[in-house]
Structure 1
Amino acid sequence: MLNPIELYEDESLESCLLRISQNNYYDSFQDFSDEVWFHVKEEDREVRGTFPATLNTVNLYHSHTSSDLKLKALIKIEQWLEINNFPLLKSALSRSSNTFLRQHSAVFRNGVDIPRILLRKNGIPVCPECLKENEYIRQEWHFITHDVCTKHKTDLLHHCPECKTSINYQESENITDCQCGFKFSDHLTPQANSNALLIAQWLNSENTKLANVWGEHQAISSRFGVLLWYINRYNLTDDFSTSFVKYSLNWPTNFYSELDEQIDKAKTVQIKPFNKIFFNEIFNRLLLDCRHLPTREFKTNSILSHIYQYFLSRYQIQPNSGVFSILLSPLEASTLLSCTTDQIYRLYELGFLKLGVRPKLHQKIASHQSVFTLSSIILVKLSNMQSSQDELHHYLSAW
């Protein structure tokens, strides 16, 4: 049996476990971890691995292969606390089968996929005002996308004002105080940057003008996808809040202008006809980078939707433009059509997709081989052959 604590829906798993161990008078988290591991092994000697002795590796997504022991340990702790409905499991970050962008792995919590690259690796900032009210760590403070507290509209505190040490409760095992003795709740943090606040509120599904741009009903996972796409496309490593908000408020006009510039540049340096030019020679990884954000469904992937709208609007004006004879690979074609590559091969076999090059006899077209004309892909999309009931657009029945 363990002395119970009050659990919070927005609390991180590491914070929960630390408070449980401290509320039950363990000298350190490692002591608590050792006891949990011992009891789990007593009940199931077949389970492999150990229960981590440090907070920064205790979450489920840190497991390289199986997280069975961690799962059993969390269930055991819940049994000791005499609580139901698996609140600790719900607060955990699990490894997701989804990926973002260029194969960025994702973590999963409460129905939301989050790019793992957006998790903080060194320090975990805190909101002094939140700690005054309840002494626990919010999950959102673990994300680099959140530099402000949306509740109090103030900056998060990254370093101790007294000794300048980076704040990290996972290392210090202290939520409220610095190792030097400074109490975080005593600090007055400045008002939040308006752009950073907008982004944090948007990612928390609060109603902001960013929601009006990217979609009011857009899933939180897709919002993380948009932000990661932007950071990756413009190679941003430092503060991105101001530039992202400015970019969003000019969307999609600014994006269309960039694509126009890429086409104009291709015409300027053109040394071969368009029907010999690959799509990625002009637009680089434009399609492949928005293939997983984390889906390629138009209704949830606003980047991909606007890429299609851009090419469609140009096609309606100049259908005979040489640009539409450029060549796409099956992978790029499946992205623009929001379907599987198997569907692309099926469309080709039945003559719906036009080849811009003649393939070698009896040789299957490779997924990266640029062979399909852009115009034929647009025409297939315009034909509305897909079923509205499919998760991905299903243009033709199975073989």
Structure 2
Amino acid sequence: MELLITPKPFVDESLESYLLRLAEENGFESYQVFSAVVHEWLQEHDHRAAGAFPLSLGLLNVFHANRSSGLRVRVIQLFEQLAHSGELPLLKLALMHSSATFGKRRAAVFRDGIDIPRSFIRLCGIPVCPACLNEQPYIRQRWHFKPYSVCHKHGITLISNCPGCGELLDYQNNELITHCHCGYDLRFAGQEKATTETLQLSRLVSGETVEGTDPLSTAINLSVRFGALQWFEAFSGCELTEQEAISKAIEFFNGWPQGLVDGLELRREHAELRLVKSYNRTLFAEVFGELLLDARKLPMRDLGRNFVLKAIIDYLSELVRNNAQSKQANVGDVLLSLVEAAAVLSSNAEAVYRLYQEGFLVLAVRPKGRSKLETYTPAFRLRDVMELRLARMQSQNDSGDRYLPAW
């Protein structure tokens, strides 16, 4: 088998879109027929890899595979060898699993040097911009991102449902780029002007330069922008799929960090009203939730690039300063776990454990028996960790391992 015609992929094209065009250019009536032929070829050359090759276009991308993702990569690499004029750049277009996380238990995918929250990927129903399809008939990868709801180039709302039949658009199912399965030509669909907030959000997640002095707009690294938006969803409980949530997010970051401070103060006041034990026996998470765990990997832990974590630590520093130690425990005495202390120190749990062993950090709660201190066990007072940071661990370039004492 050999692919005689290999169209050049667009830089912002999705993998699924390119494979549809590849099948069409080589005379296949549909991607289903094309994938069946490829599957037979794979059976002859690598039957194990063939088992990891899905016939459905919507399941082809690497991030859909879990334990077989390595085989899926092998499939795509074999696929690339079918080109008559050289290898196909399929892996560059693919969404891969990422080793990064955007908070506790929030996985990411990776594409062309950018980490993207997996929860931001549309798994079904891919909207389109009729003006973009008129210019070039291919699917843009950014249309797969949930926060991207309007076209930042043409200033119009993406079409999610077919104007002809009303069905949800999904080119991965009907294998059509410019048309709905009912035959309606999406290039001639009506255009609705986008709101200012939705347009700004789409520009942010597409990597465009956005006017403004807030840290979200000035962040050059697109992964940082994605991380901050993912963190906002966790902090506010609003998903960036509705106009109201989008407006709230833009307002929140435009007024940074006041919105964060107000939200943290509200959490502290609510916790104080329902407090049933003294602060020195209260977990940090019981007052502020998983704030530090969500912020420590967005996607960098050092304060020079993680503006969310920096603002949180600034707030906690002020909180400890305003609540000096006294006979009666106060909010500065809440308990941090190893991993939360690591977030405050821009370090890692192993380094914090060594700091404890060397006597730089004092345990507020002794582990039972001779058991080792567990990662998520509350163990250190907030004020002790914050004072250690202020006294010994300040630097222009934050990095956890450098903070360790000599031994």
TM-score (norm 2): 0.90
CA distance in structure 1 between the aligned counterparts of 2:73 and 2:364, rounded to whole angstroms = 53
Deviations 1:20-40 (A, max 9, x none): 001111122122112222223
- Inter-CA distance 338–289: structure 2 relative to 1 (3 Å threshold): same
Of residues 325, 341, 354, the one that matches 2:349 is 341
1:376 counterpart letter in structure 2: D
- What does residue 194 of structure 1 align with? 196
**Aligned-CA RMSD value:** 2.3
2:167 counterpart letter in structure 1: T
Match of 1:287, SS state, is: helix
- Inter-CA distance 286–389: structure 2 relative to 1 (3 Å threshold): closer
- Inter-CA distance 48–79: structure 2 relative to 1 (3 Å threshold): closer
- What does residue 167 of structure 1 align with? 169
8 Å Cα contact 1:386-1:394 kept in structure 2: no
In the TM superposition, what is the alpha-carbon distance from 1:81 to its structure 2 partner? 2.8
2:5 counterpart letter in structure 1: N
Deviations 1:70-111 (A, max 9, x none): 334433443333455752110000111222223122111011
1:365-384 correspondence runs (5 A): 365-384=373-392
Match of 1:236, SS state, is: coil
- Inter-CA distance 388–35: structure 2 relative to 1 (3 Å threshold): farther
- Inter-CA distance 266–20: structure 2 relative to 1 (3 Å threshold): closer
Is residue 2:289 matched to residue 1:292? Answer: no
Greater shift, 114-123 or 282-291, is seen at 282-291
CA distance in structure 2 between the aligned counterparts of 1:215 and 1:378, rounded to whole angstroms = 29
2:266 counterpart letter in structure 1: E
Of residues 267, 278, 284, the one that matches 1:279 is 284
- What does residue 69 of structure 2 align with? 67
Of residues 207, 213, 219, the one that matches 1:217 is 219
- Inter-CA distance 177–153: structure 2 relative to 1 (3 Å threshold): same
In the TM superposition, what is the alpha-carbon distance from 1:266 to its structure 2 partner? 3.8
CA distance in structure 2 between the aligned counterparts of 1:268 and 1:4, rounded to whole angstroms = 66
CA distance in structure 1 between the aligned counterparts of 2:79 and 2:281, rounded to whole angstroms = 63
- Inter-CA distance 195–62: structure 2 relative to 1 (3 Å threshold): same
8 Å Cα contact 1:124-1:169 kept in structure 2: yes
- Inter-CA distance 44–391: structure 2 relative to 1 (3 Å threshold): farther
In the TM superposition, what is the alpha-carbon distance from 1:380 to its structure 2 partner? 1.7
Match of 1:90, SS state, is: helix
1:302 counterpart letter in structure 2: F
CA distance in structure 2 between the aligned counterparts of 1:301 and 1:116, rounded to whole angstroms = 19
1:300-319 correspondence runs (5 A): 300-319=305-324
Of residues 86, 105, 112, the one that matches 2:114 is 112
1:297 counterpart letter in structure 2: D
1:110-259 correspondence runs (5 A): 110-209=112-211, 212-214=214-216, 216-237=218-239, 238-239=241-242, 240-259=245-264
8 Å Cα contact 1:37-1:50 kept in structure 2: no
8 Å Cα contact 1:386-1:393 kept in structure 2: no
In the TM superposition, what is the alpha-carbon distance from 1:148 to its structure 2 partner? 0.8
Greater shift, 303-312 or 350-359, is seen at 350-359
In the TM superposition, what is the alpha-carbon distance from 1:178 to its structure 2 partner? 1.2
Is residue 2:362 matched to residue 1:357? Answer: no
Greater shift, 329-338 or 380-389, is seen at 380-389
Unaligned runs of 5+ in 2: none
8 Å Cα contact 2:125-2:169 kept in structure 1: yes
CA distance in structure 2 between the aligned counterparts of 1:220 and 1:273, rounded to whole angstroms = 42
Deviations 1:52-75 (A, max 9, x none): 111100111111222344334433
CA distance in structure 2 between the aligned counterparts of 1:295 and 1:335, rounded to whole angstroms = 11
Greater shift, 254-263 or 25-34, is seen at 254-263
TM-score (norm 1): 0.92
1:294 counterpart letter in structure 2: P
Match of 2:109, SS state, is: strand
CA distance in structure 2 between the aligned counterparts of 1:169 and 1:272, rounded to whole angstroms = 56
CA distance in structure 2 between the aligned counterparts of 1:46 and 1:195, rounded to whole angstroms = 48
In the TM superposition, what is the alpha-carbon distance from 1:361 to its structure 2 partner? 4.5
1:282 counterpart letter in structure 2: V
Identity %: 36
- Aligned residue pairs total 399
In the TM superposition, what is the alpha-carbon distance from 1:225 to its structure 2 partner? 1.4
Deviations 1:139-192 (A, max 9, x none): 000111101111111111111111111111111111011122111111131111
Match of 1:171, SS state, is: helix
Greater shift, 317-326 or 141-150, is seen at 317-326
Greater shift, 25-34 or 320-329, is seen at 320-329
CA distance in structure 1 between the aligned counterparts of 2:72 and 2:363, rounded to whole angstroms = 52
Deviations 1:314-342 (A, max 9, x none): 33444436322221111211122121111
In the TM superposition, what is the alpha-carbon distance from 1:218 to its structure 2 partner? 4.5
In the TM superposition, what is the alpha-carbon distance from 1:128 to its structure 2 partner? 0.5
- Inter-CA distance 273–390: structure 2 relative to 1 (3 Å threshold): closer
2:317 counterpart letter in structure 1: L
Match of 2:97, SS state, is: strand
